[in-house]
């Protein structure tokens, strides 16, 4: 995992996070109005200090989402 994918807990600011996935099948974010076959697989973390559970999209998938958003804006 790259440093850029490191998070602080949004609730308590702790960096003691355990990364993983939510659910036994991967959770997927499907953006509205954007064509995507597989969606964007999400990752999750749980803060070991306060128990906050966060979900995010990894950096390289975020790049792909940005490209798709840009394509959509170009079409308008």
**Minimum distance between the CB of residue 10 and Zn ion, rounded to whole angstroms?**
8
3-state secondary structure of 32: coil
Contact set with Zn ion (CB under 5 A): 9, 11-12, 14, 47, 49-50, 52
Are 35 and 69 a contacting pair, CB within 8 Å?
Answer: no
Nearer to Zn ion, 8 or 28 (CB): 8
Q: Least distance to Zn ion from the beta carbon of 13, Å?
A: 7
Nearer to Zn ion among residue 11 and residue 72 (C-beta): 11
Q: Smallest gap, in angstroms, from Cβ of residue 70 to Zn ion?
A: 34
- Per-state percent for the chain, helix, strand, coil, to nearest 5: 25, 25, 50
9 vs 57, beta carbon nearer Zn ion: 9
CA-based nearest residue to 40, from 13, 58, 17: 58
């Amino acid at each position: 995992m790259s440093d850029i994918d490191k998070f602080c807990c949004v609730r308590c600011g702790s960096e003691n996070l355990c990364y993983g996935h939510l659910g036994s099948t991967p959770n997927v974010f499907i953006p509205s109005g954007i064509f995507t076959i597989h969606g964007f697989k999400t990752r999750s973390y749980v803060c070991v200090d306060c128990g906050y559970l966060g979900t995010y999209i990894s950096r390289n998938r975020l790049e792909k989402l940005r490209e798709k958003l840009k394509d959509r804006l170009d079409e308008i």
